Amino acid sequence: MDIASLIAIVGGIGVIFLGVLTSGGSIGGIIDIPSIFVTVGGSFFSLFLCDSLKNVLGMFKVMGRCFKTFDYGEKNLIQNMVALSEKARREGILALEEGLDDLDDAFLKSGLRMVVDGTDGNVIRSILENEMNQMEARHMVGINLVTQWAGFGPGFGMLGTVIGLIGMLNNLEDKSSLGPNMAVALVTTLYGSMLANWLFGPMAQKLISQNSAELRSREMVLEGVLSIQAGDNPRILAMKLLTYLDPKTRKVIEADVLKD
């Protein structure tokens, strides 16, 4: 569970409610069911004009990733790649075939399989990079839909406000209702802003960060596989992969992987 996302959801609601209460308003004053229909419902159904039914409904599964943490095992990856490199230099490339089926990482297994089969390094790079590009393209389908939902929110919020103002102007003879009706009309603008700036906009950014982290781990695998295929010294391989880590994490594991 990603605690940061829970903090964002709960904290965002708390701050908004606190702002309403301290300004002399009431929680009930910002809750309006028709405004929710227009803003949330209208912006959601617009997504079906942007993409297929399957992708729009699948977007919710993608959004669920915001509430999970993912560890791509960069530390263990470096240690495993160094061990594989040492084995290849000591026993030969073909020795890597033993134990390939025990690897959990399908991307790494695919790369090492091509190395064992004697595939040219440029071909290996081309295939693995294409697989990375296709993975990112799949991720971006859901991310783009979340981003579009965030963009549609304020527009439908303004649309709801206009609808409310039209209803208010049609009932101008009732002076006592002008203030409450104006408040209800503006609630949809509030909802649209919340969708964009508190919910779906930040969610899209977190999904982008997760995509970047996964791509970085794949790049490390690609670099390690090509280094093994080229017969690089395991120490050189470790130094290459350590450059992908932040300085603090690098310092923690550097002593182990670069020891003599």
Give this prediction's pTM.
0.89
Per-residue pLDDT of 186-244, as tens digits, reads 899 999 999 999 999 999 999 999 999 999 999 999 999 999 999 999 989 998 999 99
Phi, psi values for residue 100, rounded to 5°: -60, -40
The answer on pLDDT for 256 being more than 80 is: no
Q: What is the pLDDT of residue 258?
A: 67
Q: How far apart are CA 191 and CA 36, in angstroms?
A: 7
State the CB neighbour count (10 A cutoff) for residue 34: 14
Query: How does 50-76 read in b/e, with b if 16+ C-beta sit within 10 Å?
Result: ebeeebbeebeebbebbeeeeebebbe
Q: How many CA atoms lie within 13 A of 186 on its CB side?
A: 7
Q: Which of 85, 106, 73 is nearest to 220 (CA)?
A: 73
User: Tokens standing for 206?
Assistant: 């977190």
Rounded to 5°, angle at Cα 200 from 140 and 65 = 60
Which three-class secondary structure state does DSSP give residue 172? coil
Per-residue pLDDT of 101-138, as tens digits, reads 888 889 999 999 999 999 999 999 999 999 999 999 99
Band (150; pLDDT cuts 50, 70, 90): very high
Least confident of 7-21, 72-86, 195-209: 72-86
Band (154; pLDDT cuts 50, 70, 90): very high
Q: How many CA atoms lie within 13 A of 7 on its CB side?
A: 3
State the CB neighbour count (10 A cutoff) for residue 106: 9
State the CB neighbour count (10 A cutoff) for residue 134: 10
Q: Do 18 and 30 form a contact (C-beta atoms < 8 A)?
A: no
Task: Classify residue 259 as left (phi > 0), alpha (psi -120 to 50) or beta.
Answer: beta
